[in-house]
Structure 1
Amino acid sequence: MELFKQVKFDEPVREKAKLALDVKEILYVLTKSKSVLIGGMIVFIVIFCAIFAPLIATHDPYQMNIGDRLLKPMEHGHLLGTDQYGRDLFTRIIYGARVSLEVGFISVGLSLLIGVTIGLIAGYYGGWIDMIIMRFVDIVLSFPVLLLAIALVAALGPGIQNVILALGVVYWTNYARIVRASVLAIKEEEYIQAAKTIGSSDFRIIFYNILPNCLAPIVVVATLGLGVAIIAEATLSFLGLGIQPPKASWGWTLAFGMKFIRETPYLSLYPGLAIMITVLGFNLLGDGIRDLTDSKLKRK
């Protein structure tokens, strides 16, 4: 960075040089971060399996064969055995990844849309607007989040759409608080005051000047939130309020496996491991991204 002080560049050249330095710094930290490498590899494998499930699966996930019910792993060509209806457990877990990722990504996206918008408005305008919004956030946070999600799904009815809607509605508060805190600090910067002086609209200041500088904490929390959403979906399905049979779901498979826990513990073990490993991958990835942003802040 000292080079920029000694040599005068045209503005486009300066910006390109800064961008190149940022990309190199990001790639350097990513390659040195074990959390990002391990978490990213796990997430990549899960997403790959979900996308190419028809090619990876060895059987039809919905085909029942009572004659092959409750087979042990590796019996009759079933890699992880079969469930109580004779369906291949490995195939069901592979297809269950699709449901978990769909619920996770869409519900987190909905939470981001609600929370980021509300956080930007509360932090930028402040005053009575901020007070009303944050008191409403406090009211929502006073309820146990998972219990509130259960209540919403019970009222709306089971199903993947209602699960996504319920999780998106109850988890937006974290994003609102984080974005609001970032906006309160950023809006006092000189370049924001300069933008106001030259007559920039509030919309342009919020979405072109403030929001890009809030992305780092948003990405970290959203990555960690994906793991939380996957666990919440599995919990709702386990309780019978989430994904309904015959659609493959890790939580539903885990719940039905509990009925045969003494005879065939693997029915609950394998979907439980799938949930644990997937959530671990997102958590490691989120921790690595947080370390990346922290290291960049310390260098500034």
Structure 2
Amino acid sequence: MELSKQVQPENKTSNLPKRSIPFRELLSLLTKSKSALIGGIFVLIVLFCAIFAPIIATHDPYEMDMSNRLLTPMEDGHILGTDQYGRDLFTRIIYGARVSLEVGLVSVVLAMVIGVTLGLISGYYGGWVDTIIMRIVDIFLSFPVLLLAIALVAALGPGIENVILALGFVYWTNYARIVRANVLSVKEEEYIQAAKTIGSNNFRIIFYNILPNCLAPIVVVATLGLGTAIVSEATLSFLGLGIQPPESSWGWALAFGMKFIREAPHLSIYPGLAIMFTVLGFNLLGDGIRDLTDSKLKRN
């Protein structure tokens, strides 16, 4: 008696090669890079100060006391002294971390959404679509980024919302170029061709098959871009085009401190150190992630 063999239905999707996503391995690899580890600690400290600012702050950030103006650090209960209006400088710097991180994070997300979307479309479809998008990128890159941001904020008006829009609008080109380059190398892979063969639509191929393999460089650019965005916000505020008083901003603190640089240098030193500390943290973290992902790709 012959035993009949049951033929199982073929699962077409199972034949697709499984691609490893470098982003999933980043967290486990961070501890192997001293640069990423130190940068991550710096960033966590700034995030902690921004989130728990009402608990950490020792005074009201908007409370003015002209009888205690320009106090030196550790004088009369003020850890970092007071500014020209008698406001506690330590509290103002702690609350300034909230503004800087808000502008940095939101502007980077906005730039990422614009740049990644256009980069995916440009790299995947190619042809005249790619030509148009890349010529737009070339036009944006022909202008100095900071000057373009200053022009946009001057046209829109000062304020946190306009600063975010301006920074997001000028920094999207980095994401578009990097994502396009990755898409051009990924879209010819066998698993992409197999996905087309089984009838997957373009939307699914772009966002479910191609995009996950572009996450590692996107994370690196976004991490480095956070430091750049924070410096740009401080620059705009320093010039009077960014965050407006009485909101606490590191750039405004630097601008006001310049007027008292001889009699009260701490007004400029501590906001400058806060900017340096934060930007250094993001740059070290971004460099560490980039080194880790590059070494991982080379081993593969």
- Normalising by structure 2, report the TM-score: 0.92
Measured after TM superposition, the shift of residue 85 of structure 1 is 0.1
Residue 8 (structure 1) aligns with: none
Measured after TM superposition, the shift of residue 28 of structure 1 is 5.5
Q: Which amino acid aligns with 1:68?
A: N
Measured after TM superposition, the shift of residue 202 of structure 1 is 0.3
Measured after TM superposition, the shift of residue 50 of structure 1 is 0.1
How far apart, in 2, do the equivalents of 1:168 and 1:49 lie?
25
Tell me if structure 1 keeps the 8 A contact 2:111–2:168: yes
**What does 1:247-286 correspond to in 2, within 5 Å?**
247-286=247-286
How far apart, in 1, do the equivalents of 2:23 and 2:284 lie?
22
Measured after TM superposition, the shift of residue 235 of structure 1 is 0.2
Q: Does 1:225 align with 2:210?
A: no
How far apart, in 2, do the equivalents of 1:198 and 1:230 lie?
46
Q: 1:177 to 1:26 in 2, by over 3 A?
A: closer
Q: 1:56 to 1:134 in 2, by over 3 A?
A: same
Tell me if structure 1 keeps the 8 A contact 2:39–2:284: yes
**What does 1:30-69 correspond to in 2, within 5 Å?**
30-69=30-69
Q: For residue 62 of structure 1, give the secondary structure of its aligned residue in structure 2.
A: coil
Measured after TM superposition, the shift of residue 291 of structure 1 is 1.4
The answer to which of 46-55 and 193-202 deviates more is 193-202
Indicate the structure with greater helix content: 1
Residue 147 (structure 2) aligns with: 147
**What does 1:77-226 correspond to in 2, within 5 Å?**
77-226=77-226
Residue 74 (structure 2) aligns with: 74
Measured after TM superposition, the shift of residue 30 of structure 1 is 2.0
How far apart, in 2, do the equivalents of 1:40 and 1:176 lie?
26
Residue 4 (structure 1) aligns with: none
Bigger relative contact order, structure 1 or 2, given CA contacts below 8 A and separation 6+? 2
How far apart, in 2, do the equivalents of 1:264 and 1:175 lie?
42
Residues 107-129 of structure 1 show CA distances to partners (whole Å, capped at 9, x for unaligned) of 00000000000000000000011
How far apart, in 2, do the equivalents of 1:282 and 1:158 lie?
26
Measured after TM superposition, the shift of residue 26 of structure 1 is 4.8
Q: 1:82 to 1:22 in 2, by over 3 A?
A: closer
Residues 22-51 of structure 1 show CA distances to partners (whole Å, capped at 9, x for unaligned) of 97x656632221111110000000000000
How far apart, in 1, do the equivalents of 2:162 and 2:76 lie?
38
Q: 1:103 to 1:28 in 2, by over 3 A?
A: closer
Residues 161-180 of structure 1 show CA distances to partners (whole Å, capped at 9, x for unaligned) of 00000000010000000000
How far apart, in 2, do the equivalents of 1:27 and 1:131 lie?
37
Q: What value does the CA root-mean-square deviation take over the aligned residues? A: 1.7
Q: 1:196 to 1:29 in 2, by over 3 A?
A: same
- After TM superposition, what 4+ stretches of structure 1 lie above 6 angstroms from structure 2? none
Measured after TM superposition, the shift of residue 98 of structure 1 is 0.1
How far apart, in 2, do the equivalents of 1:132 and 1:51 lie?
42
Residues 190-224 of structure 1 show CA distances to partners (whole Å, capped at 9, x for unaligned) of 11111111111000000000000000000000000
Q: For residue 217 of structure 1, give the secondary structure of its aligned residue in structure 2.
A: helix
Any gaps of 5 or more consecutive residues in structure 1?
A: 1-10
How far apart, in 1, do the equivalents of 2:23 and 2:168 lie?
33
Any gaps of 5 or more consecutive residues in structure 2?
A: 1-13
How far apart, in 2, do the equivalents of 1:26 and 1:170 lie?
28
Structure whose CA Rg is larger:
2
How far apart, in 2, do the equivalents of 1:242 and 1:30 lie?
34
How far apart, in 2, do the equivalents of 1:151 and 1:255 lie?
20
Q: For residue 32 of structure 1, give the secondary structure of its aligned residue in structure 2.
A: coil
How far apart, in 2, do the equivalents of 1:45 and 1:217 lie?
25
Q: For residue 31 of structure 2, give the secondary structure of its aligned residue in structure 1.
A: helix
Tell me if structure 1 keeps the 8 A contact 2:26–2:289: no
How far apart, in 1, do the equivalents of 2:152 and 2:30 lie?
39
Aligned pairs, how many?
284
Identity of aligned residues (%): 81
How far apart, in 2, do the equivalents of 1:22 and 1:261 lie?
45
